Amino acid sequence: MGLTVAIGNALSGLKASQSALEVISRNISNAGTPGYHKQTLNVIEVGRGDNSYVRAGQVNRAFDSILQNYYTKQVPETAYSATRGTFLDRMQTAMGKPGSPGSLDTMLGHLQNAMDALATSPDNYATRADAVTKASDMAATLNRLSLEVQTMRRETETRMATSVDQVNSMLGSLRDVNLVLADYGVDQNTRNSLLDQRDRLVSGISEIMDLRVDYNTDGTVRLSTRAGTSLLDVKPSMLAFEQAGSLTPTSQFNTDDSRSNVGKLIIETPNGTRVDLIKDGAIRSGTLGALVELRDTTLQDAQKQLDDIASALAQVFSTVQTPGTPTADGVTPAGYDIDLSKLQDGNDIVLKYRGTDGVERSARVVRVDDPTKLPLTSPDSNGMQVVGIDFFNRADGGVAGTIDMAHVANTLNIALALGPTMSSSGLAGDTQLQMRNNGTATLIGASSRWTATELSDGELGMPLFLDADGKPFTNAMGGEGQRLGFAARITINPAVVQDNNLLVKYDAGTAAGDSKRVEYLVDQFKGLRFGSNTAVGANGGGFRMNGSLTDMVNQMVEYQGSTISTALAADATNKQTLEAISSRMEENYGVDINEEVARLMELQNAYAANARVASVVQELLDTLMQSFR
């Protein structure tokens, strides 16, 4: 090997070592940079005849597309569970642990204890005052919890708007990165830096919403939602969050735009197509997916349960149960007469009957003044068949305020499939529903349940809790229904706050020590049964509360506790999974300082050796040149 070949080899080695040193220096300086992928220099050995040398090849960036896809799928799942866990942890704090001071079950227990004490000392002012205080505290607790739920729902919309801005910004940046990566004239170092930026942007977007990522051969990417809606393909789509105003308990999502009163998440593609991502179910995970689910399902379910409890609380005090009047002994066919005159919208009749099979059955006949709410869902959460009837038969020209008894009887006969069991006198203005046994069924009980609207009209029930504007709660179903949002509106009757004698005084002549009203109300706590209007937790098969007021409070506490625990457990599991994937990525992509330093020392030695060879060859060439002088 000649001297010129030797010096050429030494110089090529020096150049390759210098390039490798630059790569190692870049790795070490970016060791702590998030999203940086370590780089390695591909050294190529070139052989020509009896001579061989090395040259610096391409700088390779560590990347595993399969591992990257696992990461991109796990990031939104982790963000989804983390967002739900954060909100539901706040819900847990607001509700308190069962039995803790201020929790819903504790406040109800205090009210029941106060009523029990009042039953034994109805003439004691302090005992009456304590009962009023505990009733006010119970209403305030429902108001507070409802306010907390709606505050969190409003916060979800604020965060949706912020997340949309972040996604739009990152999509714009990713478009710019794609444009540069598509230019093959870009040097390799710049390209590798852009690829790191590309992956950081994809990771940031996937944290907010679930993605499908397609990597092109030139390093550019195409993004779409898991449902297939395009987010970036050369040009980015634009997301917009269209708010519907401040959310209230009655603000609910509906696929019918005319009935939906929550914010919309719209995406507009470059060709002008607009897609409602929430309505189309295109957002399933990520922070946005969690915020949508919290706003429209989880938190709204909590509101509905609070409303169910508030409505049961009001009805415990205001419901008057009037047994049907049985026919006189010896009169056939036997049955009951039920007075419908005091039933208001939402009040009901409870029937018990025995069929020819000997099985006892129950049914609720509900007065419904809004015909659009008919027919009602049956059975209710207590297993009772529900029959909703427009008492005034307005669909056939009936007049509001005049009960169409024939219509009531016929509708009830058809709904219960009992044959001609009921009849009415048919007289104008008649309010007595006559129910008689026949060969199909035997009536074994009938009673009406209506709402007391006065405090001292002789009825033991009383409107202790009121709706907005001082309206008694009747569970009216018109519009969105009186129950929806009632937990936010429930308040104690101010007349009782001013004069706590009204807790005992059910008419003008009630004696100070008369305990009839209080004992009646205590029995209502134990015996009156309620149920949820709608099921919650549809993804888990649906759950509807039922039973006494105490049962419903306990069921809500258990259900919400289970929901919160499940969310927190999912959060912990997803974080562990993401940590495992991130650790694997760190192994594949991360910079090991010790390894880089060891490699640096090897290159320094190689550089010194090549430099020595070049120096010796230079000396020999100088000596050779001097010999020719």
Taking the CB of residue 8, how many other CB atoms lie within 10 A of it?
A: 16
Range of the domain at 55: 3-62+591-627
123 within domain boundaries: no
513 within domain boundaries: no
139 within domain boundaries: no
Q: Has residue 193 got a pLDDT over 70?
A: yes
Asked whether the beta carbons of 408 and 389 are under 8 A apart, the reply is yes
> Are 280 and 395 contained in the same domain?
no
* pLDDT classification of 466: cutoffs 50, 70, 90: very high
pLDDT of residue 358: 84
Which region among 204-218, 283-297, 324-338, 492-506 has the lowest average model confidence (pLDDT)?
A: 324-338
Q: In this predicted model, what pLDDT tens digit does every residue of 554-593 receive, in sequence order?
A: 999 999 999 999 999 999 999 999 999 988 988 888 787 7
336 within domain boundaries: yes
Q: Has residue 371 got a pLDDT over 60?
A: yes
> Are 325 and 393 contained in the same domain?
yes
> Are 43 and 161 contained in the same domain?
no
Q: Has residue 615 got a pLDDT over 70?
A: no
Q: Has residue 427 got a pLDDT over 50?
A: no
In the chain, the number of structural domains is 3
pLDDT of residue 425: 43
pLDDT of residue 80: 96
530 within domain boundaries: yes
More confident residue, 104 or 258: 104
621 within domain boundaries: yes
441 within domain boundaries: yes
> Are 577 and 599 contained in the same domain?
no
pLDDT of residue 208: 96
Those residues with Cβ within 8 angstroms of residue 541's Cβ, 6 or more apart along the chain or in another chain? none
Q: In this predicted model, what pLDDT tens digit does every residue of 237-285 receive, in sequence order?
A: 999 999 888 899 999 998 888 889 999 999 999 988 899 999 988 888 9
> Are 89 and 202 contained in the same domain?
yes
Distance CA 609, CA 591 (A): 27
pLDDT of residue 173: 96
pLDDT of residue 4: 60
The secondary structure of residue 9, as a DSSP letter, is: H
Output the DSSP codes for 96-121. -STTSTT-HHHHHHHHHHHHHHHHH-
pLDDT of residue 428: 45
168 within domain boundaries: yes
> Are 311 and 326 contained in the same domain?
no
* pLDDT classification of 424: cutoffs 50, 70, 90: very low
pLDDT of residue 305: 96
Q: In this predicted model, what pLDDT tens digit does every residue of 532-552 receive, in sequence order?
A: 888 888 666 688 999 999 999
> Are 275 and 326 contained in the same domain?
no
Asked whether the beta carbons of 290 and 156 are under 8 A apart, the reply is no
Burial class (CB in 10 A: 0-12, 13-18, 19+), 364: buried
Q: Has residue 429 got a pLDDT over 70?
A: no
Report how far apart, in Å, the C-alpha atoms of 181 and of each of 30, 40, 47, 459 are. 21, 20, 33, 82
Q: In this predicted model, what pLDDT tens digit does every residue of 46-97 receive, in sequence order?
A: 666 555 555 665 777 888 888 888 898 999 999 999 999 999 999 999 999 8
Which residue intervals of 30-124 are DSSP H helices?
65-95, 104-120
pLDDT of residue 87: 96
pLDDT of residue 46: 62
Output the DSSP codes for 410-450. HHHHHHHT-SS-EE----TT--EEEEE--SSEEEEEEEEEE
Taking the CB of residue 236, how many other CB atoms lie within 10 A of it?
A: 22
> Are 50 and 99 contained in the same domain?
no
Q: Has residue 220 got a pLDDT over 60?
A: yes
Most confident of 33-42, 60-69, 150-159, 358-367: 150-159
Most confident of 148-157, 214-223, 254-263, 618-627: 148-157
pLDDT of residue 301: 94
> Are 306 and 169 contained in the same domain?
yes
Q: Has residue 404 got a pLDDT over 70?
A: yes
Asked whether the beta carbons of 173 and 201 are under 8 A apart, the reply is yes
Average pLDDT over residues 128-149: 97
Q: How high does pLDDT run on average in the chain?
A: 87
> Are 245 and 330 contained in the same domain?
no
pTM of the model: 0.88
Closest CA relative to residue 113, chosen from 127, 94, 97: 127
> Are 338 and 485 contained in the same domain?
no
More confident residue, 537 or 153: 153
pLDDT of residue 317: 97
> Are 577 and 606 contained in the same domain?
no
Which two tokens mark 32?
């702590």
Beta strands in 325-430 (DSSP E): 325-326, 335-339, 348-355, 360-367, 385-389, 422-423
More confident residue, 3 or 485: 485
Side chain identity at 467, as an amino acid letter?
Answer: D
